Amino acid sequence: MAQFLRCGTFVQRPPCASNLNSSNPFYTLRIMSEYIIGVSAHYHDSAAALLKDGYVVAAAQEERFTRKKHDKGFPIQALEYCLNEAGISIVDVSAIVYYEKPFLTFERLLETYISFAPNGFASFVKAMPLWLREKLGLRSMIYHEMKNHFKIKRKQVPPLYFSYHHLSHAASAFYPSPFESAAVLCADGVGEWATTSLWHARGHELKPLKEIPFPHSIGLLYSAFTYHCGFKVNSGEYKLMGLAPYGEPIYKDRILKHLIDVKGDGSFRLNMDYFEFAVGLKMTNKRFETLFQCPRRLPETELKQEYMDLAASVQAVTEEIILKLAQTCKELTGERNICLSGGVALNCVSNGHLLRHQIFENLWVQPAAGDAGGALGAALGYWHQYKRQLRRAPEAKGAMSNVYLGPSFSQQQIESFLIENRITFETMSSDEICKEVARLLSEEQVVGWFRGRMEYGPRALGGRSILADPRSPQMQSVVNQKVKFRESFRPLAPVVTEDKAIDFFEGATKSPYMILTFPVAKAMRKTLNESDHQKQGLDKLKLNRSQIASVTHVDNSARVQTISKEDNLEYYKVVEEFGRITGVPVLINTSFNVRGEPIVCTPQEALDCFKNTDIDYLVLENCIIDKALQNFSREERSWPENFVPD
């Protein structure tokens, strides 16, 4: 008999969204600005976010400062950055809000180990010392961090509050959105108990409707296949998504028959006979391998067709479940709008699939949908739920006006840095540099683009980007292998001017956060012959499919970022000028980093990446650097200490 820890269908009694704290004093006139810090930490992708009177002032992931990818440590450097950006000290902060409740998570771990005993003893022995040493003493640890780092007394540390994990996700999804009311769908691996939750949001209220408890998790199902296909859990899921179009969903029925029971309303439960993640140190077991007659792929080994087919199959199952859950959201709320958050909401293919089915008229996805965004959600949840602060009338972009919430560097700082490092550079006006970069890109040069504030979330969106010409069929391989040092199958994303998006991508809507996929317009595609259509696996990669070949995935899709003048003026001007030169207002936009390292944060990190890759030009604010004029000797790659090939 399969073991099921709890019923996998919806629980009718999710945690009450208003119970962030037992007391809720009446709030009257606010004379001075009120600052609130949100924090996520100790699992993966730690981050800090700062609100000023309900508006987002700054937010960043800790990894960008420590240079440890997916850093899970307490985000003290990200927190310090947020304070500096606002020009305040820690004693000016009214509250620090942690994004989940550790004691409930500990309860879930204990109940799980007891339920599956004696299985999982090795995992129990490994996990308990960490919990007893750190996570159960989180409150004391945070106070200790604050006292030591900021050199203040215990009583000067702001009061600490704890949100629920999925409330943090739901708050991050709805409150920054442009909607007055909406359905909210959150799906991830697991919070305290919830893995999937449905909400109805209106004004400043978030009403929980239904949830699915651990171990039944669409996020963990997807991670199990990520693990089986040889990628790293909690970071390699987007690789599995990118791999899926190379395969066929031939295992979909097998997954639905043996691994997951999906009901008509989208509720589901996993058959835990095939999984180890509840109490083990692995995601899957031998029964899983036997079911698909396919051993787990070792990292960095050959990608065979069966792994591509597994990726395609679990992607198809995920899309089906999300559609059913969205339909249930529609039936329960009657809303025209839906907001998404949680790690599963970073699956841009599923998001595009949902949008095209038109269950809802409007869709908004939190760009930092994973745990990093939980920091923002925790702060917003506190402001609107505990403090009972009303939302302002939604503006075009909501309270979170953009994702450019990280550090920036002045022109003077940049020039001083370059002079100190004896770098030959040229300073131009903003208009001149945009035109020059567009010209270089049209000549198939690769440009590192470092301007303005760093982005919050996993996507580079024109603050810390690598730009290239999408028309070149070779550019996809050049960027992946000679610039990013990563797998050749990985798709590259396009940025397109918002007003021209529909000309290049079917059904394209405003998509400033690169969180949706759209089909490349038929008018842009090239005719393939019969032998081309017969190609399988990675052989599909070699085909020239469209006039924007390097951003056209093998299924003729693209993960699109639209850009407007209001979003990022100089970035927009580069794309627009490239369009004027070439007739194609589309560029390759990929994150400014190499495999295994976080996106660059500082000019020094941008320069180091520029030196040691095949990027031809580097833009730092209004300075442009030609590699041919430098005396660089490429250094041997020195990966971070915690680097694990992914």
pLDDT of residue 32: 77
Instruction: Report the C-alpha dihedral over residues 438, 439, 444, 449, rounded to 10 degrees.
Output: -40
Q: Given a cut of 50, is residue 6 above it in pLDDT?
A: no
| pLDDT (tens digit per residue) in 258-306 | 999 999 999 999 999 999 998 877 999 999 999 999 999 999 899 999 9
What DSSP state is assigned to residue 398?
-
Residue 178: both structure tokens together: 């442009």
More confident call, 13 vs 598: 598
DSSP 11-44: BS-PPPTTTTSS---------S--EEEEEE-SSS
More confident call, 44 vs 584: 584
Calpha distance 402→381 (Å, rounded): 19
pLDDT of residue 636: 47
Judge whether 560 and 508 are in contact, CB under 8 Å: yes
pLDDT of residue 121: 63
Peptide bond into 603 cis (omega under 30): no
| pLDDT (tens digit per residue) in 515-565 | 999 999 999 999 888 887 778 888 888 888 899 999 999 999 999 999 999
pLDDT of residue 25: 36
Spatial CA neighbour of 269 closest among 307, 314, 229, 214: 214
Judge whether 204 and 384 are in contact, CB under 8 Å: yes
**3-state class of 212 per DSSP?**
strand
So what's the architecture of 213-365 in CATH? Answer: 2-Layer Sandwich (3.30)
Spatial CA neighbour of 244 closest among 269, 225, 217: 225
Q: Given a cut of 80, is residue 110 above it in pLDDT?
A: no
Q: C-alpha 9: how far from its chain's center? A: 27
β-strands 194-202, 205-213 pairing: antiparallel
Domain boundaries, the chain: 213-365, 411-629
pLDDT of residue 20: 41
Confidence of residue 117 (pLDDT cuts 50, 70, 90): low
Residue 515: both structure tokens together: 């969180």
pLDDT of residue 488: 84
Helix 411-420 × helix 603-611 angle, to 10°? 50
Q: Which phi and psi angles does 270 have, rounded to 5°? A: -95, 150
pLDDT of residue 404: 97
| pLDDT (tens digit per residue) in 443-493 | 999 999 999 999 999 999 999 999 999 999 999 989 988 899 888 888 899
pLDDT of residue 538: 83
Note the pTM of the prediction, 2 decimals: 0.91
C-alpha pair distances (Å), 324 with each of 115, 194, 197 = 30, 18, 13
Please name the residues in contact with 234: beta carbons below 8 A apart, sequence gap of 6 or more. Answer: 44, 45, 70, 189, 223
β-strands 93-98, 35-40 pairing: parallel
| pLDDT (tens digit per residue) in 15-50 | 444 334 434 433 344 457 899 999 999 888 999 999
Calpha distance 379→386 (Å, rounded): 10
pLDDT of residue 137: 76
Mean pLDDT of the chain: 90
What CATH number labels 411-629? Answer: 3.90.870.20
pLDDT of residue 633: 75
pLDDT of residue 7: 38
pLDDT of residue 643: 37
What's the N-to-C CA distance of the chain in angstroms? 35
Judge whether 49 and 379 are in contact, CB under 8 Å: yes
Low-confidence winner among 213-227, 237-251, 487-501, 621-635 (lowest mean pLDDT): 621-635
| pLDDT (tens digit per residue) in 199-229 | 999 999 999 999 999 999 999 999 999 999 9
